């Protein structure tokens, strides 16, 4: 995982839990915590930090990942305003993730392995967003979508309608923009 994701996690943790909280998490996870934005680091390190945060807060790991995704969006908007400025709605922003956002990320961060999403309309009018990644970070994706709603001052209801963590082959999020 690219160092920038660790940097954004650090910013989110410090903003919400104070300046010592990040060092405490790293200590508890047994990590030195030197993450340069352009570097690549084992996914296991990110997951170890998230695990420690979940244990400290007495929350399930999916909830921590979702929280992180939601908090990450405003921090990414500060770092990369250009990626957000061309959009007027959360739907436009989120559905550009495969064609614009993550391709731009790959240009900025050589070697970034960003996930690909598949979108299709559901019969009930919601938009399904299918996610397949060996990293199985569907709750992070959910948080990114919710944070995108916050960014555009919209409430996007996100329902996990299938999930690899429940034995299904693919994760699908149903997004309701009218919520």
* Closest CB to ligand HEM among residues 4, 26: 4
* Closest CB to ligand HEM among residues 18, 42: 42
DSSP 126: P
- Number of Cβ within a 10 Å radius of residue 23: 12
> 44-73 mask for ligand HEM (x: CB under 6 A)?
------------------------------
* Closest CB to ligand HEM among residues 41, 56: 41
Burial class (CB in 10 A: 0-12, 13-18, 19+), 71: buried
Nearest to 10 by CA among 138, 118, 29, 63: 29
Residues that bind ligand HEM (rule: CB under 6 A) add up to a total of 25
Does residue number 177 form part of the binding site for ligand HEM (CB under 6 A)? Answer: no
Q: Pick from 53, 145, 171, 175: which binds ligand HEM (CB under 6 A)?
A: 145
* Closest CB to ligand HEM among residues 58, 88: 88
| Per-residue CA distances from 139 to 12, 83, 109, 123 (Å) | 16, 22, 23, 24
Do 139 and 65 meet the contact criterion of CB atoms below 8 Å apart?
yes
Does residue number 112 form part of the binding site for ligand HEM (CB under 6 A)? Answer: yes
Do 119 and 106 meet the contact criterion of CB atoms below 8 Å apart?
no
Chain residues that interact with ligand HEM, rule: CB under 6 A: 1-2, 4-5, 76, 80, 83, 94, 97, 101-102, 105, 109, 112-115, 133, 135, 137, 140-141, 144-145, 148
């Amino acid at each position: 995982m690219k160092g920038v994701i660790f940097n954004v996690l650090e910013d989110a943790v410090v903003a919400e839990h104070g300046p010592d909280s990040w060092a405490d998490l790293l200590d508890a996870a047994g990590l030195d915590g030197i993450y340069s934005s352009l570097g690549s680091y084992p996914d296991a390190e990110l997951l170890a930090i998230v695990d420690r945060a979940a244990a400290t807060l007495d929350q399930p790991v999916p909830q921590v990942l979702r929280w992180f995704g939601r908090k990450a969006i405003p921090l990414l908007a500060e770092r990369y305003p250009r990626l957000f400025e061309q959009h007027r709605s959360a739907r436009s922003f989120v559905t550009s993730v495969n064609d614009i956002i993550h391709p731009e990320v790959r240009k900025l961060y050589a070697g970034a392995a960003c996930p690909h999403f598949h979108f299709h309309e559901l019969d009930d009018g919601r938009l399904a967003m299918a996610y397949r990644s060996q990293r199985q970070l569907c709750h992070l994706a959910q948080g990114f979508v919710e944070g995108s709603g916050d960014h555009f001052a919209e409430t996007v209801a996100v329902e996990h309608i299938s999930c690899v963590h429940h034995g299904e082959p693919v994760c699908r999020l149903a997004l309701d923009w009218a919520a």
